[in-house]
Amino acid sequence: MKQVYLDNAATTAIREEVITAMAAVMHSNFGNASSSHSFGRSAKAIIEKSRKAIASYLNVSAGEIVFTSGGTEADNLILRSAVRDLGVEEIITTKIEHHAVLNTLEQLQKEYNLSVQYLKLEADGSINTAQLESLLANSNKKQLVSLMHINNEIGNLLNIEQVAIMCKTYGAFIHTDAVQSVGHYKLDLQEIQVDFLAASAHKFHGPKGVGFAFIRKNSGLKPIIFGGEQERGLRAGTESIHNIVGLEVALKLAYENLEKETEYIKGLKQYFIEKIKNNIPNVFFNGASENLESSSYTMVNVRLPIPASKAAMILFQLDLKGIACSKGSACQSGSNQVSHVLFEILNDDDLKKPSLRFSFSIYNTTEDIDYVISVLKEMCD
């Protein structure tokens, strides 16, 4: 049976070069980076080399990169410490953020006297910038804005440069969950004045279980995990050297091949859009995902003209045909709950129709898309 993986927004296949680099470290560099002997010093040198390389791709200093277990931990570290240690009293966000942000804010509201303001959304899921400016201009509270750079379900691309300028104008901190954009878009953090950023290696063909937080120098954040003094005291725990190297190599390859691979994947998305429109005329695109300028080139979210009764088992039916995609984020796709993102932008009737997220990578082909469209067409007939 043909196997087609179009769920790259959930996770990506690890590049062979990354696996090779990780295996070499696991074989030869098993020392604890906190040990003072030669094995430890060798491990420490590898970590710091990786940190410096990663920082260079974002145009920041090495000391501003803190290794974590992934994007979720990075979001938690940033948001929790901002409230607890920086005195943030109000956070401005949206109801379509990743649950790593939404659930953290919900918990922080229980623990602290924290105000959370949710921005209104346009019909395509984009933020209301006029409301954002009004909330920033008319508050006497210490504020932080937390908005994801690319929405992980509908692919909407935020003008993060504009939002960062607005936040700086009114003296607010800004954090962005950039899990879907690091490794896919060039981010110069000297030009983009965010204070904090979260990233995860497995979204750009690196290993799972490792990511980083960008924390701008002298921000005042403090750890949420306590123990040793690793990561300059910001993240206790023995470092996973092979994963850190895997992260570095994956990011290096992503940015070395960015232009060529972006063009290829963008072509796949364009091809998918044209094929599905030609074969399923009543298909609808959720959010801004049809727009190649306003959404990520890596994903598209489609709503199919299938009645709810026929659509209940659509993911299972696709899986039987060897097709991997998702109804929402991977964190939710195992449940029957409606996507919290689509819930905010679709009406009740549209929510009853099946919406699917297809996300592309360098390992996909037009032949993959032809097969997927043929299966979807059969389901819609």
Token pair for 197: 């950023």
Using alpha carbons, select from 78, 82, 86 the residue that is nearest to residue 198: 78
Q: Which residues contact 45 (CB under 8 A, 6 or more apart)?
A: none
Residue with token string 């790593």: 100
Our measurement of the distance from residue 358's CA atom to the centroid of its chain's CA atoms, rounded to an integer in Å, reads: 15
Our measurement of the distance from residue 363's CA atom to the centroid of its chain's CA atoms, rounded to an integer in Å, reads: 19
325 is catalytic: no
Q: What CA–CA distance (Å, rounded) separates 286 from 334? A: 21
Q: Which of 167, 325, 331, 380 is catalytic?
A: 331
Write out the DSSP string of 199-247: EEGGGTT--TT-EEEEE-TT-----SS-SS-TGGGTS-S---HHHHHHH
Q: What CA–CA distance (Å, rounded) separates 166 from 191? A: 14
Q: How would you classify the pairing of strands 284-285 and 299-303?
A: antiparallel
Which residues have a catalytic role annotated?
A: 331
